[in-house]
Amino acid sequence: MPMRTTTKQGTLMFVRAAVSLQTVAVFVQAVTAGLVLSSPGRGALHSAGAYTVFVVALVHLVVAALAWRPGGGSPRPVLYAAGFLGLTLAQVALGIAHVKALHVPLGVLMFGLSVVQLVWMRPGFRARLATTS
């Protein structure tokens, strides 16, 4: 017999997918940033990645909002997605202004936040966390 998922579980699956895609996109940006720093002339690849991260962050916000309102989920993922989109906009502005002293650490912070959110959204993670404390 096939497993049935509820609407809430289904919408949460889309949020997890969006966060996973976001984490991969930010990681690819880190790789292209390393290429830009090590050999000039690869800026176009990093620029294209910036557009990708922006679009993925926007999709993450839309998916989180759709999971929250019609799906009846928690508003917390919407706040995380909106905050990440804000960080992405700041990151783009710093990159355009060539402020590497802030652009690089903010990129590292964004990757870390995305990984933490991805781990936090794993099924049963919070339940296991609660039972160990």
Q: What's the pLDDT tens digit per position in 8-45?
A: 566 678 889 999 999 999 999 999 999 988 987 778 99
Question: What's the longest Cα–Cα distance across the chain?
Answer: 57
Model pLDDT for residues 76-108, shown as the tens digit of each residue: 889 999 999 999 999 999 999 999 999 999 999
**Does the CA dihedral 34-40-45-46 come out positive or negative?**
positive
For 83, the token pair is 């905050």
Question: Alpha-carbon distance 67 to 7, whole Å?
Answer: 9
Domain residue limits, the chain:
9-122
The residue with greater pLDDT, 116 or 42, is 116
Is 85 in contact with 61 (CB distance < 8 Å)?
yes
pLDDT at 5: 47
